[in-house]
Each structure stands twice: as structure tokens, then as C-alpha cells.
Amino acid sequence: MEIKIEKQEHKPLVERDEVVVNIKSETTPSNAQVKEEIAKKLNKTQELVIVKKINQKFGEHKASALAYVYKSQEALTKFEPKKKEKREKTEEKKEEKKE
């Protein structure tokens, strides 16, 4: 999977960066894979990255994703809904079971 940052916009009011990335991959990448690659690219921990959506057109090997990269754990808990965090934890557990 190859990832390229297309746009990065700083939002000081909510203490995060909104990042739009282009992804080249044979299959649609999972949220966990995209989160890991964005964290590596921006030198942040995976806990501070929230993937909002991944868009891919049918039959293409390209996708785009929107992610929020928070400045701190406090900002993440303050502005991010709890439901999203629970969903991500269950997705990570499912991936661990597959491996």
C-alpha cells in the first residue's frame, strides 16, 4: 500500500489536523491499515489518528481517505465521540484474531 498526503489543514480550535490522503492499493484498505500508515507518515502515535472515511471507486486501485490527527489525548477525548472509539477497538480485536 502506497500513501500520499494530498492536503493537511490545521484546525487550532479543535486541536487537530485534518488530513486528506491518496492511497494506491490492490484492495480497499481497512481503517486500521490507513491509521497505521498516516501515523508513520506524520510521526504520531496511532491513538491520536482517527480515520473518518475511505472512498474508493469500483474497479480502481486508488482510494482517498479523510483522517483527523489530534495534538493530544485530551483533545481527542474532548472532541471525538465515544461510539467511534468503541468501534475502533472492536475492529482491532477482530484483526488480532485473524492473525
Sheet with 62-70: strands ordered across: 2-11, 16-24, 62-70, 49-56
The whole domain housing 64 covers 2-98
Q: What is the CATH number of the domain that holds 27?
A: 3.30.70.330
What are the tens digits of pLDDT across the range 8-39?
999 999 999 999 999 998 888 888 899 999 99
Q: Find the length of the chain.
A: 99
CA distance linking residue 18 with residue 10, whole number of Å:
6
Which phi and psi (to 5°) does residue 15 adopt?
Answer: 55, 50
**Global pTM?**
0.77
Structural domain tally of the chain? 1
Whether the Cβ atoms of residue 17 and residue 69 lie closer than 8 Å to each other: yes
What are the tens digits of pLDDT across the range 66-99?
999 999 888 888 888 776 555 666 666 666 666 6
Q: Name the pLDDT band for 59 (thresholds 50, 70, 90).
A: confident
